[in-house]
Structure 1
Amino acid sequence: MIKHITVNNKNIEIVEDNINSKYYIYNYFNNRTIIGNKEVVDHLVENSHLSIESPLYNFVEHKKKINILDFSLLKFKMPYSYIAKVGQYTKLTNMNVLVLISLILSALFIFLNLDFYKFDFKEIKANIIYYVIVCYLTQLFILMLHEISHYYYYYEFFQPKYSVFGITFRYFSLFLFFTSVPFIDLMDKKNKEKLILAGIKTQIFIMGIFSIYGLLFGYNTYFQLIYCLNFLSIAFNLLPFFKLDGYWYASSILRSNNYMIYFFDMLKRRKQFNFVVFIMGIINILMIFLLIIYSFLSLCNLFIK
């Protein structure tokens, strides 16, 4: 489905949108995607070396403009063969019956351990460095599994040569992993939602494994922190705001590729008014504003102390 070409030694991928007679064109170098017609594609295919006079030179050679509310801190590209075998676990972790069992086991574990969220803060404070290192490395590993789960379904649908992962800094407060899936809008609704929920389902499955361990062997402070961080990560990702998984899932339910773009187009009277999108858009803006203010005040408080 994907056509691969090289322009100015940059890897370019092209996918045709047969329904709308358009082409999605993705540049690995700068992580940019444009939509063009057949003439644009022919120009790229026929010119492996573009000069500065070419109208597509900027797309090929220039990096994406920095968005101060969401910019990449780290990005790396690797051949899919490096993660193809690892990603096979997604078949297991995304089975609906196992996800449901994981939720039931987690609810049972929490119900049987109502004091689970009572932490020994003296113990944590006394060994804070060890707890931070263990929790950080554990969450890093879990979140990598989360992102690979997304990419597994993306690869199944498009089979790209490379996978792009990275870390982004969003709204002056959130450090987040991301997976580049430039052609996701060409997927049908069912497969798109499967991809969006893949990471969360994997984390729920992991929570189920943790719950089994806790039910059988009990728990200590390390276990409490790792379990709670994973739970909070799932809950936070489900929020339909901040461009997290819940945001994209909400957009899909609302039959929009990006409900905030629809929201602003609606305000400009380019789109038909949708009350649900209007309310969601207002709440999203307020949530972002409050998050930025909270992060700023927390930072000030840290330095003042």
Structure 2
Amino acid sequence: MTTELPPAWTLAASAFNWTPDVIRAERTAPDLAVGIVADGIAPIIELEPGQLWRSFPVSTDAEVDALRRDLDAAGGSVSIVGASLDDWLGPGRRRSEAERLGFLLPQLHAARRLGAGGVRLPIGQAGEALLRRLLPTLHELDLVLYEEIQGQQTPDSPATAAAIDMIAGIGDPRVRLLVDISMLMPELPPTYLEQLAAADLPEDLLTRLTEEWRDPATAGAVVELLRSGAVPPAIHTLYMNLLVRFGRSDAADLRGILPLIGAFHLKFWDLDDTGGRVTAPIRDLGALLAPSGFAGTLCSEWGGHEWLLEADAAYMTRRHLALARRALVDGATSA
């Protein structure tokens, strides 16, 4: 049985996985990023410039060039960088379209200087007018702008569907979707449920979350508890993952938008694969993509460092990449 991915599929690792290490600041963020390659974890990485350089969003050429040299020396390269679009200059002062363009352009030039193939924004944030103004620069710099869909966003939810239709209407391969498979969660991560249990949430809700995550009634119960004010303040941010970051879709729900997808985030939270919690969505994705002609990156992105604060990012990412590779191959060969 083959162990090789289809040649147009590229596994990558996100430097976002090392966020706790960036915060601890025992090593610099650029050094951590280069270490992903130098330590043999992955030769292709995604970067978050906002974590790399204090000068972001107008990164200096010297900073960018230094990282590019170090990555080149380690034999690595960059696939996509996370862009930022701050729409506000201050209270009540929204940036004009020209100012929004000016905010993004230095980030595009830095991405190209770094050797990246694309930049990433949340879906719908840029809007059609700005995307069309960016197109000449995207072509000039040989970059793709990816709009990311994740968590409880679905292809048929009104705002997301409108943004997808806009991308389709632009009809230019320099603007594409990036899908985060946090959309495709058959169950919640056990380590996350442990955090909720330790906070003394109602037992009936914990049972629903454990056994009936995809039941629409569970979503109602989550909202009801939040509105009641009974969510402990200490876990309020963590609890909001239930409403935003954790999805209930299936891989098949992506079928209608496959021609617009240029990259994936293989989001994982922990490595407990009981019942295929981690690998089943990736296997389903592999089976969906195999006959579609997909070409692009599939990037390991660890979200669980939000609560697994002491876990080792290198270990988690290595293990996840191995699981993801096997699951993708299994899915592709079953298609």
TM-score relative to the length of structure 2: 0.25
Structure with more of its chain in helix, by fraction:
1
TM-score relative to the length of structure 1: 0.27
Larger Rg: 1
